[in-house]
Structure 1
Amino acid sequence: MTSRQPLPRLIDRLSRRRFLRGAGVSLALPFLECWQRSPAQAAESAMAPQRMLLISNNLGVLPKPFFPTTSGTNYELSPYLEELRPFRDQFTVISGLSHPACEGGHSTENCFLTGARHPTSSGFRNTISLDQFAAEHLGRQTRFTSLNLGVNIDKANRSLSWTRDGVLLPAEDSPSRVFRSLFVQGSQTEVARRLQQLQRRGSILDAVTESTRQFQHQLGPQDQARLDQYFTSIRELEQQMHAAGEWEQRPRPEVSEEAPQDIVDRALLFDKFEQMLMLATLALRTDSTRIVSLMVDAFATPVFQLEGEESSTTAYHPLSHHGMRPDHLAQLEKADHRQMTLLRRLLEILAGTSGETEPLLDSTMVLYGSNMGDANTHDNTNLPILLAGGGFRHGQHLAFNRENNAPLCNLYVSMLQRFGVEAESFGSSAGTLAGLDPRS
């Protein structure tokens, strides 16, 4: 005889949204006692909320200067990681990770946070990204469920953020627009106009839903199922607009920083990168969001500034196909060092910013990596991965098999669990990442 789980324990593993969706119910259930949190859960929720900042450069870095030659806690810092020496105990560098069956060179850039297989196959459809999966769990606890940012990004074709239906979420590449949405309240007239726009969109959704229901009874089972998914999406949009309306009536946080001016010159890649990192820290610091993704679109970057007045001799993409040319390698090393310097500055700011109960870095998982293990050969294995902060036990090089990689999504499961998501799997995962444990 099959044993039955007690109802409270079973439902504790299901969010109310998932419970409703699984039951096919369109009306919100009342709050049930079985959803009441235990004292331990309540104590946990009183702790500092977890955050994540997910960064990818779609051409990666040179592998040899990035990866350490030794592993464990006593590993020797690589030339690139020397830039991060002050934070040695607050980050973990990981080798031997990739997404299984995620091949195709540059086509994998949209799969860095999804792990979707065979992105070059006909009829390929992406899957939900790590940030959006976490955002579904978080709900509307913050003004923005997530921020999706880009530097020099081809907004129509590239993004780190993807919906559950595999739809690209365009990245915002204007720092001034990001700042306005985060911190500029506007006049009462402007707020009223934004509320009217939300109400108008809601009326359109109502009209679309009503017209669609008129022919619902004429559909077969498969189309009925698709339409149910459609109505679920409509309900979620309605909930988002309702929440947006509530947030619109709350004052935005005030910050002492001045609004940034957009840098138009695409050659100033690292200045633009720094701007977006600073905005990300402001958004996290003010709890405007707890999830930020940031794609540095090196592929779309022309000739760019390296150091001072020195510029690259060619665009970033052809430069990455260095063919072991010494002059190209030297330029790439300078570009990679600038990225590491910006990463160190980011960690300095997060470590020096007070969170609810601890430095912000301790409650913020900072992921830096790429879909490219070696851009010179379009290799999508042995990806450069670094995780800092977030309350993990760091100060180590986790070295997995570089010939038979472990799934990168194992790391994502560990991050999701740390974020508070009761996820046993994500994408191509086979569990959590061995050797990465929370601090006791």
Structure 2
Amino acid sequence: MHTPISRRTVLRASGVALSLPLLDVMNPVFGFERAEQPKRMVLICNALGLYPPSLFPKTPGNDYESTEYLELLKEHRSDFTLFSGLSHPDQNGKEPHDTEMTFLTAAINPGLGGFKNTVSVDQVAAMHLGHTTRFPSITLGSNTRESQSYNSNGVMLPADNRPSRVFAKLFLAGSPEEQRRQRQRLADGRSILDAVGDQTKTLNQRVSGGDRKQLDEYFAAIRTAEKELAESEAWLDRPKPEVKVEVPKDIVESSELLGRIRALMNLIPLMLQTDSTRVISLMIQADHGVPNIPGVQGEHHPLSHHGQDPSKIAQLKIIESGILAEFSDLLTQLGQRSEHGERLLDETAVLFGSNLGNANAHDPTNLPIILAGGGYKHGRYVAHDKKRNTPLCDLFVTLLQRMGVEADSFATSNGALAIT
């Protein structure tokens, strides 16, 4: 009989703390069965879409014929489902690319007067999981700090766009002085919250009943923040996982589009393997100038508005093929089996899509959506009505339910999308 040990057990020596990998004996059932693997979610958006004629087959089903773009993913055919006819309703905004703000939220009429964004689907999952992991979520951007992740107040969460900084946050312990400063910040936050809470009684004596209700809600939010701060501090005492890879180097030139995407995508398996987070979003942004890719002379954004010019379309397809090749490499990494025969991909739902179905016309309908992994039955092309699209949020509901969120709806959904 084996005595169970904590999965947080570390080997310690002078100045060294070495994390152990997940072992059978760490399972509470005496090591005879492996513990259930956590569910994970990765959401990737290519903000300038994908050229539809090169992506979508002519007929749906399991026996769909391959296309120019799907050939790049052919080794993963049994691990993904391609969808068409999905979109968010009422996406006519102030500017043609304002739908970048709403890909993960589905808030209507982005950018128009009075518009306020809503919570994104990744943050709903992150709030459900809380500090189960060191980071409830990680938000990445290929060039700038702009992201598609929004908190419950509709405020954008800035993206990490430097792989070296992401790596340091995930895996480098930091100096004792840095840890002391972080503890002090957390302590200051709690003392401020406590000070505000001490004034509740006095304030309640001076305000109306309606104001007291509002104050009660406010202080309830403060107490939630206190709990989150305490949970964050608890992670300071736990050694960060060790990984046998070199610290990634930042690519300074924004024109190195594929290299920047690759550097960020290479971090995703590490995040999941070490259970540093279970919710990741990545925005492949529109502004990279002229990509440094052989055969491409124009900027990505103008090329997406090709006006049916064959030369521009040819260059656009070179760029998009490169992006899909990087996505294929990510699926390859996630699909590698461990010594126990498990694959990260089987427990990780990976959505790759765009806020634009036809970038040439700024059309936010009939979005290109690929869902890989997650334990779903794949190997199909599912075509929904191109004229009366199914809400993409139906798929979001399905993904949230898989993450353990008790949700029957999200934003503009009509319910969950059956994909098994």
Same fold at TM > 0.5: yes
Counterparts in 2 of 1:396 and 1:79: CA distance versus 1, 3 Å: same
Q: Which shifted more, 46-55 or 211-220?
A: 211-220
Question: Would the alpha carbon gap of residues 220 and 98 (structure 1) be closer, same or farther in structure 2, given more than 3 Å must change?
Answer: farther
Aligned to 2:129: 138
Match of 1:113? 104
CA distance in 1, matches of 2:177, 2:312: 54
Paired residue secondary structure (1:125):
coil
Matches of 2:340 and 2:182 in 1, distance apart? 31
Is 1:371 paired with 2:355? yes
CA-to-aligned-CA distance 1:276-330 (integer Å, 9 cap, x gap): 11112211111000110011111x22121223xx4432x2222211111111111
* 1:191 and 1:249 in contact (8 A); partners too: no
Determine the structure 1 residue equivalent to 2:401. Answer: 417
Answer yes or no: is the 8 Å Cα contact 2:300–2:319 preserved in 1: no
Kindly indicate whether residue 233 of structure 2 is the aligned counterpart of residue 245 of structure 1.
yes
Do the aligned partners of residues 187 and 340 (structure 1) sit closer, same or farther apart at CA in structure 2, a change above 3 Å counting? same
CA distance 1:159–1:216, change in 2 (3 Å): farther
Q: What secondary structure does 1:83 align onto?
A: helix
Superposed, which structure 2 residues align to 1:227-376 within 5 Å?
227-298=215-286, 300-307=287-294, 310-313=295-298, 315-354=299-338, 358-376=342-360
- Determine the C-alpha separation between the residues in 2 that align with 1:103 and 1:180: 40
Distance in 2 of aligned mates of 1:45 and 1:141: 19
1:213-266 deviation line (CA, Å, top 9, x unaligned): 643444445544443443233222212211111001100000001111111100
Q: Is the 8 A contact 1:102 1:118 kept in 2?
A: yes
**Cα shift at 1:58:** 1.2
What whole-Å deviation, never above 9, does each CA across 1:128-158 have from its counterpart, x for those lacking one? 11111011111211000000111112x3xx4
Q: Does 1:82 align with 2:67?
A: no
98-107 or 363-372, larger mean C-alpha shift: 98-107
**Structure with more of its chain in helix, by fraction:** 1
Amino acid at match of 2:119: I
- What number of residue pairs does the alignment pair up? 386
| CA shift in 2, pair 1:229/1:148, >3 Å | farther
Structure 1 range deviating more: 276-285 or 117-126: 117-126
State the alpha-carbon separation in 2 of the partners of residues 285 and 392 from structure 1.
20
Counterparts of 1:321 and 1:290, CA distance in 2: 36
- Cα distance in structure 1, aligned partners of 2:378 and 2:76: 10
Q: Does structure 2 conserve the Cα–Cα contact (< 8 Å) formed by 1:149 and 1:172?
A: yes
Report the Cα distance in structure 2 between the residues aligned to 1:82 and 1:221, rounded to whole angstroms.
64
* Distance across 2 between alignment mates of 1:285 and 1:195: 27
Distance 1:385 1:201 in 2: 41
Worse-matched range after superposition: 405-414 or 185-194:
185-194
Equivalent position of 1:202 in the other structure: 190
1:182 aligns with: 170
**Residue identity in the other structure for 2:36:** M
Q: CA deviation at 1:197?
A: 2.1
Alignment-derived partner of residue 380 in structure 2? 396
**Paired residues of 1:72 and 1:396 also in contact (CA < 8 A):** yes
Secondary structure of the residue aligned to 2:140 is strand
| Match of residue 93 from structure 1 | 82
From the superposition, tell whether residues 219 and 345 of structure 1 become closer, same or farther in structure 2 (CA, over 3 Å).
Answer: same
Helix, strand or coil at the partner of 1:261: coil
- TM-score normalised to structure 1 length: 0.84
Name the CA distance, whole Å, in 2 between partners of 1:100 and 1:362.
31
Cα deviation, residue 60, structure 1: 1.0
Contact in 1 for aligned 2:307/2:360 (Cα 8 Å): yes
Contact 1:285 1:355 in 2 (8 A): no
Q: Structure 2 vs 1, CA of residues 75 and 133 (structure 1 numbering), >3 Å: closer, same or farther?
A: same
Q: 1:323 to 1:205 in 2, by over 3 A?
A: same
What letter matches 2:350 in structure 1?
V
**Structure 1, residues 178-228: CA drift from partner, whole Å, max 9, x if none?**
101100012334323321221122223333444576434444455444434
Query: 1:128–1:162: 8 Å Cα contact kept in structure 2?
Result: yes
Distance 1:217 1:381, change over 3 A: farther
1:199–1:306 Cα change, 3 Å: same
Distance 1:222 1:107 in 2: 37
Match of 2:26 in 1: none
* 1:65-119 Cα distance to aligned partner (Å, 9 max, x none): 1111110111112210111111101000000000011223311111111111111
Cα–Cα, structure 1 residues 312 and 211, in superposed 2: closer, same or farther, change >3 Å?
A: farther
- After TM superposition, give the deviation of residue 391 of structure 1 in Å: 0.2
Tell me which residue corresponds to 2:36.
47
Alpha-carbon distance between aligned partners in 2 of 1:255 and 1:171, rounded to the nearest angstrom? 23
Residue in 1 that maps onto 2:13: none
1:214/1:378 Cα in 2 relative to 1: closer, same or farther (>3 Å)?
Answer: farther
| 1:193 equivalent in structure 2 | 181
Match of 1:148 in 2: 139
Cα separation, partners in 2 of 1:121 and 1:232, compared to 1, 3 Å = farther
Match of 1:385 in 2: 369
Return the alpha-carbon distance in structure 1 between the equivalents of residues 328 and 92 of structure 2: 31
Q: Percent identity?
A: 47
Partner of 1:38: none
User: Partners of 1:222 and 1:297 in 2: how far apart?
Assistant: 44
2:158 to 166, 170, 178: 170
